[in-house]
Structure 1
Amino acid sequence: MSKLVHDAIQSLFPGNCFEELLINFNFFHPTCPKAVLSRGLGFAITLGSILLFVPQILKIQAAKSAQGISVSSQLLALIGAIGTASYSYRSGFVFSGWGDSFFVAVQLVIIILQIFLFSGQTALSVGFLGVVSAVAYGVISHTIPMHVLTMVQTAGIPIVVVSKLLQISQNYQAQSTGQLSLISVFLQFAGTVARVFTSVQDTGDSLLIISYSTAAVLNGLIFAQFFMYWSSSDAASRKKRN
């Protein structure tokens, strides 16, 4: 039990930060306040990510439809999330720095399965789940070499751009955000903004920093589209109910 407590403290207070901040009250320490803030923010983002797409999943389930959601965008977002989680896991980064990517990947898998199932593509959903399982096994068992994961993470930047632009384009063409969840999109936007800070502080990895910065800008554009097309989405909802 004591080891678990010690490990939990160390994960939040790296190095001698627990002693500096909570025993010596050295709140002006040159590195500890930023390090602890980053770790705490990282854990908060990771915990929040567990429910990030739950509103989106529930909205699709209630409507029995994924109308307005780009399957290509979701697939590319999944590749980006799996790439970040796999690369960070194999690089030995702290879980608070990449746990959100893992939970996001799990929820994206569920959303993509919903898209396939509600469009009557059952066989495709089974094949998709098989591919995801094989990739997960390859990462954990080290069957997939590190240089491949580095390539995927590098490719994650244009993947994120294309993924978000596909959704932005679909929203623009429909002049509506369809079955997209405002809560989920806002949480994505806020999470990627916070992740820029934690990536700088905890990893210093330029690939992760650029990837999260790009995602933050594009998530902000999708979030803005909710307010741009608010009246159109409301009119479409009223028409559907009538």
Structure 2
Amino acid sequence: MAEFLKGLILSILSEKCYSEYFVKYNFLDEPCFKTTLSKGLGIGIIAGSILVKVPQILKILGSKSAEGINIYGVSLELFAITANFAYSYVMNFPFSAWGEGTFLAIQTAAIASLVLHYGGAPAKAIMFLTTYVGLVSILVSGYTPKDILWMMQAINVPIIVIAKSIQILTNYKNGSTGQLSAVTCLLLFGGSIARIFTSIQETGDFIIIVTYCVSTIANGALVLQLFWYWNVVNKTAKNKNKKKRT
């Protein structure tokens, strides 16, 4: 049992940090604290990512509508997520530094297909998913040159800005956030903030760190819109109720 627990702990801590904490009882070691915090945050983000976009998917399925969700914005976001996890996988970065990308990609691809499906193009939705699975298989196969993967990761910065800007402009034109899920947007915002720290600690890769900084700003803008239009929608609903009563 002791060996099993040690193995479990070592999946999070390094041998050095295990020794500092459980042999020397030195709980104030700064490098180990940062490493452990980073690993813990990474595992927490991955666990949360399993369900992070499920509220959005359920909202679309429940209303049988993807109104207000821009397919171009979703597709660009999917590209950014895919480029990130494919690059990280091929570069052999720790799974705790990028693992949520796999779950986010699956859920984002599902959202894109639902947008196409409820937009009146079910055949395109199936074709989209089939093509996407094929492309991901090629990217992580080991046959795609690392230079191409790095380039994909590098252009993530403008792509994230464009993808989120498309959704932000769509919300502005509609005067509401449509079928966007507040829970999903808040979780993505919090996750991108945490990823700045874990990327610094676990990868040290400049382009990935910059990507998460930009992602945090973009996700923050969407969160601000959610709160802004939430008040607008609530006021409109109240006015309508008053008119009905009179």
TM-score normalised by length of structure 2: 0.91
Distance 1:3 1:132 in 2: 42
Answer whether contact 1:11 1:39 (CA < 8 A) is retained. no
Distance 2:190 2:134 in 1: 31
Distance 2:80 2:160 in 1: 6
Give the structure 2 partner of residue 83 of structure 1.
83
Distance 2:57 2:233 in 1: 19
Residue 180 in 1 paired to residue 175 in 2? no
Give the structure 2 partner of residue 152 of structure 1.
152
Letter in 2 for 1:122: P
Deviation at 1:108, TM superposition (A): 0.2
Give the structure 2 partner of residue 120 of structure 1.
120
Deviation at 1:229, TM superposition (A): 1.0
Superposed CA offset, 1:97-156 (max 9, x none): 101111111100100010011111122112211221111211232232221111100011
Deviation at 1:232, TM superposition (A): 3.1
* Structure 2: runs of 5 or more not aligned: none
Give the structure 2 partner of residue 227 of structure 1.
227
Distance 1:173 1:237 in 2: 22
Distance 2:125 2:239 in 1: 32
Deviation at 1:3, TM superposition (A): 8.7
Answer whether contact 1:12 1:39 (CA < 8 A) is retained. yes
Distance 1:132 1:236 in 2: 40
Instruction: Summarize the alignment of residues 88-237 of structure 1 with structure 2, pairs less than 5 Å apart.
Output: 88-234=88-234, 235=236
71-80 vs 15-24, greater mean Cα deviation: 15-24
Instruction: Summarize the alignment of residues 22-37 of structure 1 with structure 2, pairs less than 5 Å apart.
Output: 22-37=22-37
Structure 1 pair 170/207, CA: closer, same or farther in 2 (3 Å)?
A: same
Superposed CA offset, 1:183-221 (max 9, x none): 000000000000000001111111110000110011111
Secondary structure at the counterpart of residue 31 of structure 1: helix
Letter in 2 for 1:97: A
Query: How many residues in Structure 1 have an aligned counterpart in Structure 2?
Result: 240
Give the structure 1 partner of residue 39 of structure 2.
39
92-101 vs 134-143, greater mean Cα deviation: 134-143
Deviation at 1:6, TM superposition (A): 5.7
11-20 vs 80-89, greater mean Cα deviation: 11-20
Structure 1 pair 5/84, CA: closer, same or farther in 2 (3 Å)?
A: farther
Deviation at 1:238, TM superposition (A): 9.7
Deviation at 1:5, TM superposition (A): 5.9
Deviation at 1:9, TM superposition (A): 2.8
Distance 1:196 1:140 in 2: 24
TM-score normalised by length of structure 1: 0.93
Rg larger in structure: 2
Secondary structure at the counterpart of residue 187 of structure 1: helix
Superposed CA offset, 1:1-35 (max 9, x none): 99976654333102411111233221222310100
Task: Give identity over the alignment, percent.
Answer: 38
Secondary structure at the counterpart of residue 12 of structure 1: coil
Structure 1 pair 154/61, CA: closer, same or farther in 2 (3 Å)?
A: same
Distance 1:154 1:28 in 2: 37
Answer whether contact 1:45 1:191 (CA < 8 A) is retained. yes
Structure 1 pair 237/10, CA: closer, same or farther in 2 (3 Å)?
A: farther
Distance 1:184 1:23 in 2: 42
